[in-house]
Chain A
Amino acid sequence: MADRRLADPAGQDLRRDEPIEFRFDGRRRTGLGGDTVASALVANGVDVLSRSFKYHRPRGVMCATGRCPNCLVEVDGEPSVRACVTPVAPGMEVRSQNAWPTLGRDLLSLTDRFDRFFPVGFYYKTFIRPRRFWPLYEAILRRIAGLGRVDITARPDLHPRKRHLHADVVVVGGGPAGCLAALEAAAGSSRVILVDDGSRLGGHLRTRTSAVSGDPRIAGLTGVRAAARLAELVAAEPSIEHLAGATAIGMYDGGLVGITHGSTFVRVRAERIVLATGAAERPMLFDANDRPGIMLASGALRLAHLHAVRAGRRAIVVTDDDHGWRQALEFIEVGIPVVAVVDLRPSAPDRALPAEVAAIRARGTETLFGATVVASTGRARVSGLRLRTADGTERTIAGDLVAMAARPEPVVTLAAQAGLPLAFEARLAEWIPVADSADVLVTGHVTGLTDDELICAGAVLAGRLATGDRGGRAAAGHEAHVARVAAAFAALPEPLPTVLPAGRKPFVCICEDVTAKELAQGIKEGFESLETLKRYSTVTMGPCQGKQCHGNAARVTAALRGVSRVETGLTTYRPPVQPVPLAVLAGPHLNPVRRSAMHDRHEAAGAMMMDMGDWKRPLQYGDIDAECRAVHERVGLIDVSTLGKLDVRGRDAAAFLDWLHPNRFSDLRVGRIRYRAMTDDAGIILDDGTVARLGDERFLVTTGTGSLDAVDGWLRWWLAASDRRVDVTNVTARYAAMNLAGPRARDVLARLTDLDVSADGLRYLDAREGLVAGVPTVLLRIGFVGELAYELHAPADRAAHLWDALMEAGATDGIRPFGVEAQRVLRLEKQHAIVGQDTDALSDPRGASMGWLIKADRPDFIGRDAIAALDERGLRDVLIGFEMIGTAVPAEGSAVVRDGRPVGRVTSSKWSPTLGKAIGLAWVPADDAVEDRPIVVRLGTGREGSTAPAVVRTSPFYDPAGERVRS
């Protein structure tokens, strides 16, 4: 193991005195503090971290920045974790993915040999015929398909959180350009958020030992020291908040930047956004360009500089740009010998980089020009490169590390998402973003620049522009800068043409195993447009989301079609830039809970609670039959605090309620209550409840538990932009409510109040305000459960006292608290429908057997014309009561069938202990809505199942005349 580690000063992130034990595929491994899972594995001599998606080819660390799919592993049960950016931790259980039975011997790698059976779009072709075998194919393909496995029993130790941050400027990217822009913006007294996915600031400087030029704060320092210096400056700037190890995953409208920061999702809104997302080396195209040991040069340098890991002993650097020569020198500096630099360009960059070229040659490194890489050699790991040299001969160079150092591609993803247009810069042969708005700026390598001085100057300008100084000095400086940048591009040599790779496995897309050959086949089949070719071949559609392959796919497509890059274009960039666990996007699982004022009384009484919206309500207190009996025979008390309660008052309140309902309230006398059901202009029932007139211009309106928010919004909508003098106040939380029900309810209540609650003093549907048990109470004589009943609304802070007083006063009468379940049975005995359970988005009042409440003899109300139109059409389906013949209780949702076909449905059904029958409510065709009509109900909600007979009952099962409730 030791020989895979480099000596100091390599390993900036490493704590060499801190060994970390973990396991990979069951074997014990040892890493060091500061290692990522990937760096620790490479240090342990593990070359193969995964098997590829389609051909199950062995894959090793390639980018070391979390951009490519090669190191996706399962960590402690979490699938598809990027090993190269995940710190290794003691006891970690790391497993390889997509290999069976083992990573070393993956039987499915046979697909690699039989690739002719898996042509591009194979799932549209190969496994289609014969049709009858599809179930077999499907079963096999399902086993093979996908990446990683999800353990549905695992409960990952994720505590997702959300943060909402606001700033003047958000800078994405902590390389030199991002740091300098952030510092400049902060100096301009902006509040700045600096987002960087690295463990420390500095970006590419962290893997660079050559001297930096440009900004005086870092000029002359080595890259590594410059990075440290910038980090110090940022840390010393109080108005910069640095989010380290955070990834900006998307740009959304309204200037929102979505950021993942560990398991926290950060939403940043800023006045201005500076994108300094840098540039990234792209993979080079040749046969078998995916062998372990073939890496991006920057990836190998990251392993070396950050984790002191030697990715190989003899490096071959392949390049098409001066960049590769600088990288070659970095390998030498960090202690990895370079056996050859292979430059695809025809001649050496002696003029541009005399010192670098001389230094490289002085080390005995072979230099080749105008060469073509034909293929890699080796078995699991690369052993060398087969080249065609400038004179056309083939030769092989041995090396165990191939460092691909093509000219870095600007990382334009976020810029494109932010809506910046991309322009094709012909000399770079790259797309670069055009900052055409003052709100989103781009700076650094992402603009296509490579020169330190220009980058530093541009970054400072961007920081200044981001502070809002557009008209002043910064703008003038900006003009000059733009001219210098244009001159720099113009001075570049003609770019090399794209050379199409030969061979069977030159991978364009390593996520989905798409080769150049397959793109050619796709184009031949007519998928010429990059957008359709992408969908057909799945190129750019893998876990990396095109980060590694988008540019190459566009290049190869352009070359294959013989058209320009501009004509070929690009595909749309969409968030997220990096894969994000869904839990992080979802955020914390927060369930607001509302408890009524009597909640602890219920708990003390042994209530089983249920959820109703946000509320907790007693479902039952242990004996539903006894609860029903108490209400019918003596007295019961139920907490109905969850009812929505609206105080509607004002000069036009009565007329307003008239307008909103098919029934009338203006003729309701003060102190009286009326049932209400509200419809919309389509005549659909929205909600029901009661209206109590407490004063000439004052009404207490109750709504269903779940519909309060909608009803409140509905009332306010009809008041908006209107000159009606009405005020609506939601008093749901202000009042707790309880319903005292049963033949002895009056006796119990009389003991606690001076109000006249006698049969004549407080008649059915009367409302009073007064003291009950010393508590100011709105007393409504209404009931849902078919017995003499009183609904008491009392201030929430004193309601528990009222509850206690009622329970105590009723003790001698055998009072019982009853819950929602008993209430549901009792109301069903009365055929009282529940809006939302017994009605749906197609239910009108007449169909719901509420036609009696419609007062149509009015010029207008909401739903008037619709109800008239429905009346003209005639009834189709009607909500009726039914009782079963026999004891079976059909499930709610069961079908009502006629001749074996469903014609209706059961919306409520219960066993009534009072009646000794199974009863319910159901929608049936209008011609069946006749007393005593036999109907057939399917038991169970499936398509099949036994049926049972029932008969229609159009009036309440219990006390049909309603004498008890009026008594």
Chain B
Amino acid sequence: MSFLIGCPLCGPRDVAEYRYGGEIQSRPAPGSAQADWSSYLYGRTNVSGVERAWWFHRAGCRRWFQAERDTRTNEVIRVGWTLASRPVAASSDG
């Protein structure tokens, strides 16, 4: 792994500066079934394709953000504080 990720605040930086925060998922509501908690805590879709995940700019601004990345090519398609909002930057023209 050696690709660049565009931090929304700091711009493109080596992936080694970041901590991967896992796929974006929503936390089950309190009182949810054990199966929901179990899948939230331990289940991963591990897509071969475009994944939406959290990233933490650990060695930089220490902000969390979300990125869309193709897990097959490591192409980072879109980043943002949240992907629901308008993308604030992208590290790739692809």
Contacts and interface: CB of A to CB of B under 8 A. Distances in A.
Interface of A: 252-254, 256, 267, 269, 681-682, 709, 712-713, 716-717, 719-721, 859-860, 864-866, 869
5 contacts: A252-B2, A254-B2, A254-B74, A256-B3, A859-B30
Contact of B64 (A267, A269, A717, A869): A717
A865 B58 CA distance: 29
A717 B63 contact: no
Contacts of B19: 713
Nearest to B62: A716
B13 to A, nearest CB: 11
B41 A681 contact: yes
B37 A681 contact: yes
A253 B32 CA distance: 41
A253 B5 CA distance: 12
B53 interface: no
A269 B62 contact: no
Interface string B24-35: 000110111010
Given A254-B3, A721-B81, A869-B37, 12 more contacts: A253-B3, A254-B15, A256-B2, A256-B3, A269-B4, A681-B37, A709-B58, A713-B58, A716-B62, A860-B30, A865-B30, A865-B32
A712 B2 CA distance: 25
Nearest to A858: B30
Contacts of A254: 2-4, 15, 74
Contacts of A709: 58
Given A720-B54, A721-B66, A866 B37 contact: yes
A253 B2 contact: yes
B21 A717 contact: yes
Nearest to B5: A254
A254 B73 CA distance: 9
Nearest to A256: B2
A593 B82 CA distance: 36
Contacts of B41: 681-682
B2 A720 contact: no
Interface in B30-53: 30-32, 34, 37, 40-41
Contact of A713 (B1, B62, B74): B62
Contacts of B74: 253-254
Interface of B: 1-4, 15, 19, 21, 27-28, 30-32, 34, 37, 40-41, 54, 56, 58, 62-66, 73-74, 81-82
A865 B21 contact: no
A253 B34 contact: no
B2 A864 contact: no
10 tightest A-B CB contacts, nearest first:
A254-B3, A720-B64, A860-B30, A256-B2, A252-B2, A721-B82, A253-B74, A253-B3, A254-B2, A254-B4
Given A253-B74, A681-B27, A864-B30, A720 B4 contact: no
Contacts of A267: 2
Nearest to B56: A713
Contacts of A682: 41
Contacts of B82: 721
Central interface residue in A712, A716, A719, A865, by most chain B CB within 10 Å = A865
Given A717-B21, A865-B31, A253 B62 contact: no
Nearest to A716: B64
Contact of B34 (A269, A712, A719, A869): A869
B42 to A, nearest CB: 8
A709 B3 CA distance: 24
A253 B65 contact: no
A681 B40 contact: yes
A720 B65 contact: yes
Contacts of A713: 19, 56, 58, 62
Contacts of B28: 865
B1 A253 contact: yes
B48 to A, nearest CB: 15
B27 A716 contact: no
Given A254-B74, A865-B31, A717 B54 contact: yes
B23 to A, nearest CB: 14
Contacts of B81: 720-721
A592 to B, nearest CB: 12
Nearest to B73: A253
Nearest to B4: A254
A837 B54 CA distance: 29
Contacts of B31: 865
A552 to B, nearest CB: 32
A713 B3 CA distance: 22
A682 B15 CA distance: 28
A712 B62 contact: yes
A719 B62 CA distance: 12
B27 to A, nearest CB: 7
Nearest to B41: A682
Contacts of A712: 62
A584 B3 CA distance: 21
B76 to A, nearest CB: 9
A717 B37 contact: no
Nearest to B66: A721
A269 B81 CA distance: 26
Contacts of B58: 709, 713
Contacts of B30: 859-860, 864-865
B34 to A, nearest CB: 6
B46 to A, nearest CB: 18
Contacts of B3: 253-254, 256
Nearest to A728: B62
A501 to B, nearest CB: 41
Nearest to A684: B41
A269 B3 CA distance: 10
Nearest to B58: A713
A720 B62 contact: no
Contacts of B73: 253
A716 B4 contact: no
Contacts of B37: 681, 865-866, 869
A860 B28 CA distance: 11
Nearest to B32: A865
A252 B32 CA distance: 43
A869 B37 CA distance: 11
Nearest to B24: A721
A720 B32 CA distance: 23
A717 B56 contact: yes
Contacts of A719: 64
Nearest to A710: B19
Central interface residue in A252, A254, A717, by most chain B CB within 10 Å = A254
Contacts of A717: 21, 54, 56, 64
A869 B41 CA distance: 14
